[in-house]
Amino acid sequence: MTLVFKTYSWIVLTLVIMFFKGSVQAQTLPFTNHTEIGILQSNQGIGIASAFTLQTFNGLKINPWLNLGFTTGIDRYNIANILPLALGARAYWGNEKFLPLASLDIGLGSTLLEKKTETEWHEGGLLLNPTFGVLMKTKGKTKLSLTLGYKRQILTEYSAVLDPQQTNFNNSLPSGYHSLRAERYIFNRASIRLGVFF
Amino acid sequence: MKQRLLISKNWSQVLTFFLLVLGYSSCNDQVESTYTYHAMVPVSMEASTLRSMPVGQMAPREISETGKIYIFGDFLFVNEPHEGIHIINNTNPSNPQNISFIEVPGTVDLAINDNILYADSYIDLLAFDISNPYNVKMVKRVEDVFMNYYTNPEVGTFMYFKDSVMTSTEPRRNWGGPIFWLETAAFSNADAGGSYGQGGSMARFTLSSGYLYTVDDYDLRLFDVSEKSSPEFVKQINLGWGIETIFPFKDKLFIGSNTGMHIYDVSTPSEPEMLSVYSHFTSCDPVVANDDYAFVTLRSGTFCRQGMNVLEVLDIKDPSDPKLLKSYEMKNPHGLGLSGYNLFVCEGEYGLKSFKVQDVMNLDKNQMQHLENINAIDLIPGPKSLIVIGNDVICQYDYSNPGQLKLLSCMQIEKQQLY
């Protein structure tokens, strides 16, 4: 499980590094930022049904309607705080005061912010967050955004009972553990966010 | 006007989307619980079924779990609990070769007497001719000797506890699902802990003066093996409970139990005579001894409740009256081994320690080495090398200089995926 997670992490990190390396070389492309604040809401949530979310997208405007970059921030689920590490895309088009905005973030939710002990730990997982919304032009360069979307986040919570005497072991239970409980949460949430885009 | 229309068109799109999102019924969190735990699972079997199961030599296979280890000549015998015995050619300790596997259902222990290997198979004792380790043959099956397994001797059914890793998975459910399941799981946890205590019910074997002695939880059993290929059950002696290990030294047997150490005189091998019982707090305790002293490790663990982690030195000059001389604080001591004046103690995940034991009152000042990079469970100071059994390795060290162990080789036990 960890191995798979680590592999994914490396792939995402490598892509991000490659992307930014490329972007440094292509200095002519304008930098864009989309910072949002909002909630992740479910009809029937586990525990508290809404989670606070803050995220920031940093990217480059690669053509008149598409921005590609990297998204991070914090999602405060009641189970754990998740640090999203995702590749992001933002697209908008038109010249009106209100422009349609579509975005997509795909990556991993990391549990770096959570305390890890020998008997309790968390493991993040895949995150997927497509949204759709509107951008409102203001007098300055900044635009305001309102987006609605769907966010899927996988998170596993482990709690274990140690047994130092347990030296025989098995694929599913590490040595030194008497038992291990894994709760694999799949958060299916509606994301509702307000933000600024420039 | 046109612009207004456009805007309202945009807004209607947004509104539709918004409704879609709210109407999206899968905006429910889901949770999937997996509970993995160790448990001793009772398995019932008929004696006739056991006796029809294949027994004997098979192709070598990977070692997936280690049990007791036995050295005989240039060969190493590794018991894989309940499955069989791996034969390792250890002519060159730097490069041990896994050469074959003897399938023995229900085995937990073994002893070798002059090319005859004795192994238990639940209720029976089996003897194998290993004079050619590449061609092992079963020579005898002594039936119905480990009667403690029997649940119904008339019908011929017995029960054993299988050390199992159980996994229960509650499929994905939405919130509002059966919360009581969690309580059920917690209960099964307690259950597992309780029955786990059966884990110590492993027979232990040793050979001394033409007799094979075995211990299980309660009894010491004697087999006359003067006719090597045809062991004969002689009798059994009740020892109490929680018997764990048996260590022969000269004409004495040192039997370690959860509550103390029993010393038996076996100068008349067919009539073991109890000399003394040295009692201590409930702990797990292997024993080794020389002429004057016995070394006992006590460790705590979920099974050995209320235990403590110490190495005790007992004066056994008078075996009928052992005296505690000193106890040394340890971290998590498991097996131990004595080679001349060198004592090696496995400290579980804390490694392996070696001591000079000439001055038993100052062992702590005479620690020679502490190897930390091994999870050491048990060891044998063999003629060629010090064999250390870890939880996922079998390592061999050159101990010609006991204060400076030199790693010769490590055999990995099947790769494990850790969390």
**Residue ranges of chain A whose pLDDT lies below 70:** 1-27, 45-48, 164-172
The arithmetic mean of pLDDT across residues B278-301, rounded, is 75
Task: Specify the range with the lowest mean pLDDT, choosing from A9-18, A65-74, B254-263, B348-357.
Answer: A9-18
In chain B, residues with a C-beta closer than 8 Å to the C-beta of A189 are: 27, 29
Q: Which amino acid is at B196?
A: Y
Out of A46, A163, A172, closest to residue B29 by CB: A46
Q: How far apart are CA A133 and CA B34, in angstroms?
A: 38
pLDDT value for A57: 95
pLDDT value for B182: 30
Label residues A34-59 b or e (16+ Cβ within 10 Å = b).
Answer: bbbebbbbbbebbeebbbebbbbbbb
pLDDT over threshold 50, residue B416: no
In chain B, residues with a C-beta closer than 8 Å to the C-beta of A178 are: 37-38, 192-193, 196, 302
Determine the distance in angstroms separating the CA of A115 from the nearest CA of chain B, rounded to an integer: 16
**Which residues, 6+ apart, have CB-to-CB distance to B16 below 8 Å?**
none
Residue A101 or B255, more confident: A101
Q: Which residue has the tokens 């493991």?
A: A123
Domains of chain B as residue ranges with CATH:
32-238 (2.40.128.630)
Task: Specify the range with the lowest mean pLDDT, choosing from B182-186, B365-369, B387-391.
Answer: B182-186
Spatial contact of B413 and B78, defined as CB atoms under 8 Å apart: no
Out of B25, B38, B349, closest to residue A179 by CB: B38
Tell whether B37 is within 8 A of chain A (Cβ): yes
Taken as a whole, chain B contains a residue count of 419
Task: Specify the range with the lowest mean pLDDT, choosing from A103-112, A187-196, B253-262, B276-285.
Answer: B276-285
pLDDT value for B373: 85
Q: How far apart are CA B215 and CA B255, in angstroms?
A: 8
pLDDT value for B5: 47
Which residue spans within B305-363 are E strands per DSSP? 310-315, 323-329, 336-339, 342-346, 352-356
pLDDT value for B112: 85
Q: How far apart are CA B179 and CA A179, in angstroms?
A: 20
Residue in chain A closest to B19 (alpha carbons) equals: A148
pLDDT value for B201: 22
Question: If you average pLDDT over every residue of chain B, what do you get?
Answer: 78
Question: Which of B6, B10, B38, B285 to probe the A interface (max A CBs under 10 A)?
Answer: B38
The span from the first CA to the last CA of chain B, in angstroms, equals 63
Q: Quick one: residue B269, left, alpha or beta (phi over 0 = left, psi -120 to 50 = alpha)?
A: alpha
Tell whether B283 is within 8 A of chain A (Cβ): no
* Confidence band, pLDDT 50/70/90 cuts, at residue B21: low
Which CATH code of 1.10.10.10, 2.40.160.20, 3.40.50.1980, 1.10.287.180 fits the domain covering A2-197?
Answer: 2.40.160.20
pLDDT value for B378: 82
Q: How far apart are CA B269 and CA B225, in angstroms?
A: 11
Question: Where is B4: in which H helix or E strand?
Answer: helix B2-23
Strand order in the sheet with B124-129: B110-113, B116-121, B124-129, B137-142
Structural Rg of chain B based on CA atoms: 28
Strand order in the sheet with B293-298: B287-289, B293-298, B310-315, B323-329
As a dihedral over the C-alpha atoms of residue B50, residue B53, residue B57, residue B60, rounded to 10 degrees, the angle is -100
Q: Which residue has the tokens 């896994």?
A: B98
Residue B190 or B6, more confident: B6
pLDDT value for A166: 64
Residue A164 or B121, more confident: B121
Spatial contact of B261 and B250, defined as CB atoms under 8 Å apart: no
Percent composition of chain A: helix, strand, coil (DSSP 3-state, to 5): 10, 60, 30
The CA–CA distances, whole Å, from B165 to A81, A174, B118, B196 equal: 31, 10, 28, 11
Residue range B207-236, pLDDT digits in tens: 877 888 888 778 888 888 888 888 888 888
In chain B, residues with a C-beta closer than 8 Å to the C-beta of A176 are: 349, 391
Q: How far apart are CA A85 and CA A107, in angstroms?
A: 6
Tokens (6 digits) for B50:
């056991």
pLDDT value for A195: 94
Counted across chains A and B, CB pairs separated by less than 8 A come out at 152
Q: What percent of chain B has pLDDT over 90?
A: 17
Sign of the alpha-carbon torsion through B321, B325, B329, B331:
negative
The arithmetic mean of pLDDT across residues B377-394, rounded, is 83
Q: How far apart are CA B263 and CA B387, in angstroms?
A: 27
Residue B278 or B396, more confident: B396
Out of A43, A98, A182, closest to residue B28 by CB: A43
Q: How far apart are CA A30 and CA A124, in angstroms?
A: 32
Tokens (6 digits) for A56:
């920031």
Task: Specify the range with the lowest mean pLDDT, choosing from B23-37, B167-181, B267-281.
Answer: B167-181
* Confidence band, pLDDT 50/70/90 cuts, at residue B249: confident
CA-closest candidate to residue B409, choices B87, B95, B62, B64: B95
3-state secondary structure B53-116: CCCEEECCCCCCCCCCEEEECCEEEEEECCCEEEEEECCCCCCCEEEEEEECCCCCCEEEECCE
pLDDT over threshold 50, residue B337: yes
* Confidence band, pLDDT 50/70/90 cuts, at residue B284: low
pLDDT value for B310: 85
pLDDT value for B175: 45
Query: Burial, A108: exposed, middle or buried (Cβ in 10 Å; 0-12, 13-18, 19+)?
Result: buried
